[in-house]
Every structure is written in structure tokens, then in C-alpha cells.
Structure 1
Amino acid sequence: MGPRARPVLLLLMLLRTVAPHRQPPRSHTLRYLFMGASEPDLGLPLFEALGYVDDKLFVSYDHESRRAERRAPWVWSKSSSQLWLHLSQSLKGWDHMFTVDFWTIMDNHNHSEIMRLGVLSESHTLQVILGCEVQEDNFTRGFWKYGYDGQDHLEFCPETMNWRAAEPRAQATKLEWEVNKIRAKQNKAYLEKNCPEQLQQLLELGRGFLDQQVPPSLVKVTHHMASEVTTLRCQALNFLPENITMRWLKDRQPLDAKEVEPMDLLLNGDGTYQGWMVVAVPPGEEQRYTCQVEHSGLDQPLTATWEPSPSGTLVIGIVSGITVCVIIFLSGILFRTFKKRHVFRGIMRDYVLAEVNLTQMKGKVQKTTY
């Protein structure tokens, strides 16, 4: 696979990773994304880290500067200085850990030896996601996953302190890491203790910012036709938090989940979200379908239906009006032209008659003279 295709795989991996889980109400998540390339020929850094609280970016770090940068206004408070110092040190440690893990995985794929020999100039990528989710009942779920060259590779299981291989080539690294029992204990301690504690501290700092309730600014239904398939798309725009319920109703009755496509959710650049859900409908029955949206920022659910655009009727009316005006205008021109010709013919007839009479009178005069 060529180097040009790898950024696409990396992007797909990151989008799948960053996409928020369907969290229960009032759950909170702290997650870190690590990514890097073995060779800087893809425009990717050797190591870059991004930190998110409830999918809101609050910190970034890169290998070149070796500095953590604040990415949210609420992180700049004086009370965050100690937390920020600890976080910066952790990111530097993860920078080192990432490099060691990267070379271990490449060694087990024989990629590092090939690169040393200069036989292969192709770059490889590593992605890591780690963090925790804390629910309202204090139930904690930790996650720590590795992706290699844009594909799932290894996942740490805190319950057993083992690694789960997502592909056969990951078996060698899995066995090597499971020998290191100290590392497994440190990973488990971070996911079950350190991460939830840090999340609680960040939530305290971000109080008033992270718990904003922004209802959808707009809910609309659009109509699409492709080949012989007619679809309706319901869109909810600019809401926060991301927990939202969207459903399609037919004749005011909810449709079965198998009849509609799963809801898609996307993070906007301003930190809000947008969601959409699509359903295929028989042509001519669009008015029987209604989209219903529920969100914590709404007092009551919002509904929307597809309304045929009046533009088609308007265009027909305009064209018809113009046609009538043109016909009337041309009729007026023809009428005036005909009228002018009629008057002109009357004048010419009178003129001819006048000449005839004049000639006859001249003849009579001449006869009388002789």
C-alpha cells in the first residue's frame, strides 16, 4: 500500500476513535489520542497528543516542542496550575512510551529492520486511544487501544490485565507485553484510579463550560431523489451536549429501527454537534412521515416534516404570467399594425377617389372650352 493511501486510513481510524460513544445521560469521558509516523514524509509528526473532556479539546502536545498547550479557556484558571504541571509531565512520559511501543510493534512486523537496511522507505503510523468514562452511578469504564497503519491492533483488558489481539500479526507484541506484569498493573491503576480522578478535577475546572445545555438551533427535513429511491433526511443542528434522540414517525407511529438508517453524529468546529437520520419512503407518501427530536436543552420534543418547495409552483406561475404578457403584448402590436393598415388603406382609397374626381372635372372643363 502506497504512502498516499495511509493518511486516509489514519484519518478513518481517528474519526472512528473521536466519534462519541452513545453515552448514558450525565456520563463524562476523558480520552487522549496519540498519533505519529515513523518517517515524516506524510506530513505527520513523530508524536502528537490531543486530550478531550466529553469530546471537547482541552490540551495538545507534540514531539517537536515537547510542550503541552492549553486548548480551552477554562484550563487557564489559577487553580489548574498544579494539575497542568502533572499533565505536562504525563504527556512527556507518554511521548517516550509511544516511541518505544512504536518500535516494538515495527520490530514484530520486521518493519524496523527493513527500514534500517534502507530497502523500504514507506512510513508507518501508530494510533493510541486511552481514557475512561464515569457514569452517574460512579461506574467506571476504562479503554486503551492501539491501531497500526490505520487498522485495529491491540486492546488492553483491565479486568484480566491482558492484551487482546485484533489481528494475527499483533500476537507477538501481545505476548511480549503480557510478560511485563508491572506495566499491566500500571495500566490498570491509571484506567481505574488516576484517570477518573483527573476527570473529576477537569470537570470541576470546566463547570459552567462543560455542562452547557444548547438545544438544536434548527430541525429540518430535506427531500432527496437518487435513481428510483426517494429518501427523507432529518437534520438537527448546533446542539450541546451530544446526547440526542432522533426518530422517524409514520402516521404518528414510531418506525422500527430496521426501517431507518442509524443516526449519524458530527462534531462542529465551534464545539457543538449536528445529527441526521435518513429513511427511504415510497414516492408520493412523504407527508406521512414526521421527524421527532428530543434533547436535554428542549422543554418538549421538536417535530418536522418535509414541505414541498414552492419554488416549482412559483416558477410555473412566473412562466405562465410572462407567456400571457407576451401574448397580450404581441396581440396589441398586431392590432395596432392592422388598425394602421386599415386606416392607411382608407386614406389611400379616399386619395384615389379624389384624384379620379379631379380628373373627371378637368375633362369636363376642357370639353366646355372647346
Structure 2
Amino acid sequence: MRVVLAPDSYKDAVSAEEVVRALRRGVLKACPEAVVDSCPLGDGGEGTLDALLVSMGAEECMSTVTGPMGKSRIARWGWVADQKLAIVELAESSGIQLVPLAHRDAMKASTYGLGEVILDTLDHGAERIILTLGGSATNDGGAGMLQALGVRLQDEAGAAIQPGGEGLAFLAELDVVGMDSRLADVQFEVAVDVSNPLCGENGASAIFGPQKGANSEHVAFLDKALYGFAEIVEAALGTNFAKAPGAGAAGGVGFAAMTLLQATPRPGIEIVMELVGFEEKLAGADLVITGEGSVDRQSLSGKTPVGVARAAARTAVPVVLLAGRFGEGWREVYQIGVTAAFPLADQAMGLEEAMARTSELLEDRAEAVIRLYGASRP
């Protein structure tokens, strides 16, 4: 029996690598002779970098950068030297998890540190850069990133605008003359796990601003600032990706990347599966086990288990999905390739207990799945 383990992380509980280790123990407990192919994945959100470091064997690099609220921090990124490929996870430099709940401020948070990481990858000789945009603390339209890369963003007095979405509202002129010339030779891909446009009722500010500390007045202010930013970019460059799916990712970094870095936006799980050669791993597999913390109708927009199921369906490999929680509309996963889905909990329990026992529960469910699968085989 050959089993491919291809989960995402279970947010705030265990990383994708830890999930794989727990699942592997369960599989081998039920079938010691099983061949297990471990392939931790991510969909562009937090934890994608860790999954790729393991699955690709990429080198882990460190950069000292400016965090979202202005404090210096260390940001990790991945480097694949023989491909001149850099993997940059926004959450490492500008992530919401870096800011305590009481101090989250979408008006002030900046993506400047993301730009600093990109500069470090250029110093390494990067020719291809993959940006994963999930989990941002920011709503600055990527303005901070652009400033770090040499783009001049000025107010009416000719001074550089202040950090954050609040500063963006005072933007009067954009000048790309000083933009790092090395960027012209780099292929950028943006791994997104949302399809929101930059502005409007489904835009970055309205949908994601509140979780970043924005109240209703802030949301309206920030949305107007992003709209003005898009108009100024269009006047300067003649292009406007404000309505493009994914433009609103990471508080508008998707828009900035598409417009000024000529980045190609793609569902994060597609990029990740391509990087790790997931299609090749499916060849000869008998079963795939995938999962993540929560599965519902929104998962169909491009979350890891759905991407795995769609890929496996093309080769007729059965897929078992293990989730910590099933929400409204989760049964729709059966329509895109999931063979069976099971919750982790083995009894009624609170969230705190469930999270503490995640590895144990994953191991137990994997063992049960393999025993059932084995019993069904002739």
C-alpha cells in the first residue's frame, strides 16, 4: 500500500509538518509495511513557507526587516539555489500574528518589511520570486513594499507618505524611476487564497480590515485611500488591476504586485503543488490523506484539501479528508474529488482540548482510515 500524506496546517494547533508526522504514525500503526510519501502543503496562507521548506528541501534564509508596526524583526524565506527561486511569505515580515490583538491597527501597519525581504532575495540572485500573501496585518495597498523597492510615493508637498493605509490617503504622486532595476529581470508569482478585488463591498478594507483592527470609519477611510491609490497608479502607468481577482489580497499587496511587479496571481495551492511535484507523487498511489483545521463552503475557493482532491480525482486516487471542524456547505467537497471526510474529535470536547490533542487525534484517525481501507481491499 502506498499512501500520500498531503495536509495543510491545523491553524494555531500544529504545522503541516507536524500533521504529516502524526498521520504517518497512524498509517504505520495500522499497516507497518505501507510506503508513506510525506508531502506537507499550504495554500498561500501562513505556514506555506514551512511546508515548502520541508517538501522541497529549500534552504531557510533570514532577513532583518521592519515589522508591520515599525519594530525590527527577523523574517524567514526560502531559497532554492539551483532554480534561483525565492519563496517569500508575507506573514513572516508583515503578518497579523506578529501584532498582539490589542495593538492591531490597519491604519498604521506597513508592508515595508516585505519589500526589504524581496531586496535580500535579489542580492542572492533570485530570478523567480513566489510571494505568498495570506495572513497580513496590513491595508496599505502594498505601498510600504513599493517604497522599500525604491518607488517614490509622495504627498502634495513632495514628501514621502507615512506608513500604513492612513498615509496612503495623502498620496499625490507616484514615481518609479528609482525602483530597483533588478526587478525587471525577475518573474513574480503571487500565491493567493482569496479572490477579492481591491476596493468596494468585497474589497480588502471591507472584508479583511475589521480583523486587522479597523472600525467602520476606518474601513470607509481605507477603502477610499485604496481607490485613490489605484487612480494614481493608473494615471502614472496606464494600468489598473483594482478589479482583478486577488487584487485585495493582503490589504492590496496583490494589486501592487500585479501592477508594478507584473506578478501573475494564481491560487496558492496550485503553485505549491506544482513546486513539490504533487502530480508525480500521485503516480502509483493507493490513497491520499489530506486535511486542515476547518472545512466549509469557502474551502472550495482554493484551500489545500480541495486542491489535493481535484488533483487526485484526475488520476482516480481516493482521497480521505480529516478536519477539526466542518462548517456550512462542507459536503460540497464530495463533488470535487473527496472520497470520505471525517472529523478529528473522538468525543465531545472544547476547542482548547481539541487543539491540545490534535496530533493524537490525527494519529488515531489515520490508523482507523487505513484499517478501514485495508478491510475493503480484496
- What's the TM-score bracket when you normalise by the shorter of the two chains? under 0.3
Q: Could you say which structure has the larger radius of gyration?
A: 1
TM-score, length-normalised on structure 1? 0.27
TM-score, length-normalised on structure 2? 0.27
1 or 2, which has the higher strand percentage? Answer: 1
